[in-house]
Amino acid sequence: MPGLHLRELLIGSPLPTDRLESERLDTVRALAVLSPDALSSIAYANQEIFLGLAVAGWVGLSNSFPIALAIVVLLGILALSYSQTIQAYPRGGGSYTVAKENLGTSMGLVAAAALLVDYILVAAVSLTAGVAAMTSAFPELWPYRVGLSLLLLTIITLANLRGLRESGTLISLPVYLFILTYIGMFMIALIRTALGDLDPLPADSFPVEQAVPVTLFLVLHTFASGCTALTGVEAISNGVQIFKPPEAKHAKQAMRAVAVLMLVLFLGTVGLTQYFNVLPSGEETILSALARHVFGKGLMYYLVQTSTLLILFVAANTSFAGFPRVTSILAEDTYLPRQLSLLGDRLVYSNGMLLLATLTGLLIVLFKGDTHALIPLFAVGVFMAFTLSQAGMVVHWYRLKGKRWLQKALINGLGALTTMFTFWVIAVSKFLDGAWIVTLLIPLIIMGFRAVHRHYQEISGELSVKGFPMTLKPLPHPRIVIPIAGVHRGVIFALRYALSISQKVTAVYVEIDPSRSEKVRSLWERWGMGVPLEIVPSPYRSVIGPFVDYLDRLDQEANDGQLASVILPEFMPAKWWEYLLHNQTAWLIKLALLYRRRKQGTIRAIIDIPFHLRH
């Protein structure tokens, strides 16, 4: 079928379950899959620090590097803390798992809700920031930012639906290109400065009319914005199971590598922008202004912008690696629909990926592709999940009390305290900027978790065979009713099947046009195999209502506690568009009977007999 070929072209042919182990990644590719969010966050974190301090002029911007240093210290604490999480939870120590096992189910659900919001926002922010980098180099594309963001989202979704190994290979090139181009820019900037070939811009070029006093609130507000650089630090501890064995060892190596790279890239970019007094022009980003100052508008400038776009583009991949895994765990615990726990054809959680893509696309459209508008929303969820995870690890070490447990508990305790402090700074300073949306959204998501869980518990009780009598006997042969719209081969096939399972068979013709009834009766006398035909008048030309009323009367007259079974003859056109040419009465009858509630213990079987047309 053409549809099948297109699907295989887009996401590849199905993989057998025994390939699951071979789909795991080595450290180089796993680092590429899990680190883009953390590495790329320097792009929008730098931008947010600049925008936060620019209102105070050069005096405000002189605080950029101290704020960056404070964020890097926090990064070191988090990296050390999450390395211990990897050690304690080698099967994947996401915030939900750690908080649930150590702080209780309620705290686990809070962490899960915060984590899911974080992943959705990371994907949206990464893609819109990538488009911002593109429009910095090509300003004429700015009006098309929403469409471009959605296009990039579609591409990254298809890449991930193809599977871990293929997405890891695809993502490796942009990640390592980004690292090399930025380190290369640092080295060239330092060499040119040492040779006297590159000087800072004059400080008096800043628009003084925008200046406001530097206050503690301004600094904390900017620190809160800059903490977006720390998003993605937890991704490696969430995705330990995508590494090849020994998983924990490789994951800890990747965590150290990410921490070092972030330190170099973040401090390097912030330090150079402050030292050179660079200023963006129009809708340009601060990193674009830095690259333009170092290289001019030459080939190297466009290479830096391209690598920034690509890393931001693939940064959404961190969400595609983490979000489906978290939703699969929640689904296994019956807090989300069970479909999210199923592996797809390519041995990835494709339902979770499609859900993430849908929600991310919705955010991009609602916020018109504006990164700056999205930033205040996701820092709250990130640090809420950080805090609960680290607090859970303190309880974990206290309960375990193994070798050096106190030292480990102190490290995670320091992580919990610092992230909790940062969480409150972000929540207060960013509340009116949009953080209030997340503080309202997380409780609503938790209510949704509990509603889903309650539903599964209730149906589990109703479906349980516990207490069911063991003396049950088979039901007697059913009474069968066949609705017909005429006499054709599909009806005769259904009639033959009905007579093979019961002798109590009745055909029902709902009379919409009285002039056709005699022809139907005549044909039935020839082909009906002795089965009685009931003609039910329908003065208002409805088929469903009169047929269902007839069934109710038949069951009431029989008075044997059984409901008549219904056999539906249904012809299937050869082409999809031909379905539009028919009235789908069988489907409507089926819907009416399926969703009509009956008293406990009674069943109405509905059997489809398809007759496939060749033309």
Three-class DSSP category at 502: coil
| Cα four-point dihedral sign 148, 151, 157, 159 | negative
Contact in structure between 570 and 610 (CB atoms under 8 Å):
yes
Give first-to-last CA distance, the chain, whole Å.
16
Residue type, 44: Y
Say whether pLDDT at 134 is over 50.
yes
Say whether pLDDT at 37 is over 80.
no
Average pLDDT in the 128-142 region? 80
Closest CA to 412 of 34, 39, 89, 24: 89
Q: CA–CA separation, 31 vs 242, rounded Å?
A: 10
Contact in structure between 307 and 181 (CB atoms under 8 Å):
yes
Average pLDDT in the 391-417 region? 89
pLDDT at res. 58: 77
Say whether pLDDT at 378 is over 90.
no
Three-class DSSP category at 608: strand
Q: Which of 473-477, 485-489, 580-584, 595-599 has the lowest mean pLDDT?
A: 595-599
Q: Which of 54-58, 127-131, 198-202, 346-350 has the lowest mean pLDDT?
A: 346-350
As beta bridge partners, residue 534 has: 508
Helix or strand holding residue 506 (H, E): strand 505-511
pLDDT at res. 312: 77
Average pLDDT in the 100-113 region? 92
State the SS3 of 511-550.
Answer: ECCHHHHHHHHHHHHHHCCCCCEEEEECCCCCCHHHHHHH
Pick the CATH number of 22-456 from 1.20.1740.10, 3.20.20.140, 3.40.50.1820, 1.10.760.10: 1.20.1740.10
User: Do 22-456 and 480-612 show the same overall fold?
Assistant: no
The number of CA neighbours under 13 Å toward the Cβ of 245 is 2
Say whether pLDDT at 375 is over 50.
yes
The model's pLDDT over 418-439, given as tens digits with 9 standing for 90+, comes to: 888 888 887 887 777 777 888 8
Pick the CATH number of 480-612 from 3.30.2290.10, 3.40.50.620, 3.40.50.720, 3.40.50.300: 3.40.50.620
Q: CA–CA separation, 388 vs 518, rounded Å?
A: 75
Q: CA–CA separation, 522 vs 535, rounded Å?
A: 12
* Residue 95 pLDDT level (bands cut at 50, 70, 90): confident
Closest CA to 553 of 481, 484, 607, 477: 481
| Tokens 């009390």, residue located | 401
pLDDT at res. 4: 47
Q: CA–CA separation, 95 vs 117, rounded Å?
A: 13
As beta bridge partners, residue 506 has: 481
User: DSSP of 165-203, one letter per residue?
Assistant: HHHHHHHHHHHHHHHHHHHHHHHHHHHHHHTT---PPPG
As beta bridge partners, residue 481 has: 506, 566
pLDDT at res. 428: 81
The model's pLDDT over 550-605, given as tens digits with 9 standing for 90+, comes to: 999 998 888 877 889 999 998 888 887 877 777 788 889 998 888 887 766 678 89
Q: CA–CA separation, 606 vs 36, rounded Å?
A: 52
Which DSSP state fits 341? G
**What share of residues in the chain are helix, strand, coil (percent, to 5)?**
70, 5, 25
| Tokens 């859970």, residue located | 392
**H-assigned helices in 63-104:** 64-88, 95-103
pLDDT at res. 203: 65
How many C-beta atoms lie closer than 10 Å to residue 116's C-beta?
A: 28
Which of 231-245, 350-364, 369-383 has the highest mean predicted lDDT (pLDDT)?
350-364
Q: What angle do CA 259, 248, 173 make, to 5 degrees?
A: 55
Say whether pLDDT at 440 is over 50.
yes
pLDDT mean across residues, the chain: 83
The model's pLDDT over 296-322, given as tens digits with 9 standing for 90+, comes to: 888 899 999 888 888 877 777 778 878
* Residue 2 pLDDT level (bands cut at 50, 70, 90): very low
Residue 455, both tokens: 């539903």
As beta bridge partners, residue 609 has: 569
Provide the angle, in degrees to the nearest 10, between the axes of the packed helices 247-276 and 36-54.
30
More confident: 374 or 127 = 127
Average pLDDT in the 238-248 region? 79
Residue 418, both tokens: 């610092």
User: DSSP of 551-571, one letter per residue?
Assistant: HHHHHHHH-SS---EEEEEEE
Residue type, 415: G
The model's pLDDT over 262-308, given as tens digits with 9 standing for 90+, comes to: 899 999 999 999 889 888 876 788 888 899 999 988 889 999 988 88
| Cα four-point dihedral sign 346, 352, 353, 358 | positive
| Tokens 């899911």, residue located | 116
Contact in structure between 509 and 522 (CB atoms under 8 Å):
no
Residue type, 124: A
The domain segmentation of the chain, as residue ranges, is 22-456, 480-612
* Residue 233 pLDDT level (bands cut at 50, 70, 90): confident
* Residue 10 pLDDT level (bands cut at 50, 70, 90): low
pLDDT at res. 3: 45
Q: CA–CA separation, 548 vs 529, rounded Å?
A: 24
The model's pLDDT over 567-577, given as tens digits with 9 standing for 90+, comes to: 999 888 888 78
Say whether pLDDT at 464 is over 80.
no
Helix or strand holding residue 611 (H, E): strand 606-612
pLDDT at res. 87: 82
| Tokens 């620190």, residue located | 223
Cβ burial of 207 (10 Å; 0-12, 13-18, 19+) is exposed
Say whether pLDDT at 93 is over 60.
no
**What is the phi/psi pair of residue 433, to 5°?**
-80, -10
Q: CA–CA separation, 67 vs 55, rounded Å?
A: 16
Q: CA–CA separation, 478 vs 476, rounded Å?
A: 6
State the SS3 of 54-69.
Answer: HCCHHHHHCCHHHHHH
Q: CA–CA separation, 442 vs 113, rounded Å?
A: 6
Q: CA–CA separation, 288 vs 361, rounded Å?
A: 26
pLDDT at res. 495: 94
Say whether pLDDT at 164 is over 60.
no
Three-class DSSP category at 508: strand
